[in-house]
Amino acid sequence: MTSRERVIAAINHREPDYVPMDLGGCGQTGISASTLYRLRKAYGLEEHPIEICEPYQMLGTVEFDLLKKTGADLVPLWNRGNLMGLSNRYTKPWTMPDGTPVLMSDNFEYDTGAKGDIFVYPCGDRTAPYSLHMPAGGCFFDNLSRAPEVDEDNLTPVEDFKDNYKRVVDEDCRYWERESKRLYEETDFAIMGVLGGMGLGDVAEIPGPFVKHPRGIRDIEGWLMAHLLYPDYVRAVFEYQTETALENLECYREAVGDRIQVIWLSGTDFGTQCGLMQSKETFVEMYKPFYKKVNDWIHNNTGWKIFYHSCGAVEPLIGEFIDMGMDILNPVQCSAAGMDPVHLKKTYGDKIVFWGGGVDTQRTLPMGTPAEVKRQVAERLAVFSAGGGYVFSTIHNIVAKVPPGNIVAMYEALREFRGI
Q: Looking at residue 344, what is its pLDDT?
A: 98
Mean pLDDT of 228-234: 98
Q: Looking at residue 399, what is its pLDDT?
A: 97
Checking if the pLDDT of 1 tops 90, the result is yes
Structure confidence by residue, pLDDT tens digits, 3-12: 999 999 999 9
Mean pLDDT of 233-259: 98
How many CA atoms are closer than 13 Å to the CA of 306, on its beta-carbon side? 26
Q: Are strands 132-134 and 118-120 parallel, antiparallel or unpaired?
A: antiparallel
Which domains are present in the chain?
Answer: 3-89+157-418 (3.20.20.210)
Q: Give the pLDDT band (50/70/90) at residue 16.
A: very high
Q: Give the Cβ contact number of residue 312 at 10 Å.
A: 22
Structure confidence by residue, pLDDT tens digits, 48-59: 999 999 999 999
pTM (2 d.p.): 0.97
Q: How far apart are CA 22 and CA 18, in angstroms?
A: 13
Nearest CA-CA partner of 273 in 339, 350, 332, 336:
336
133 forms beta bridges with 119, 142
Q: Looking at residue 207, what is its pLDDT?
A: 97
Mean pLDDT of 265-285: 97
Mean pLDDT of 245-272: 98
Q: Looking at residue 420, what is its pLDDT?
A: 83
* Mean of per-residue pLDDT scores for the chain: 97
Nearest CA-CA partner of 16 in 81, 69, 71:
71
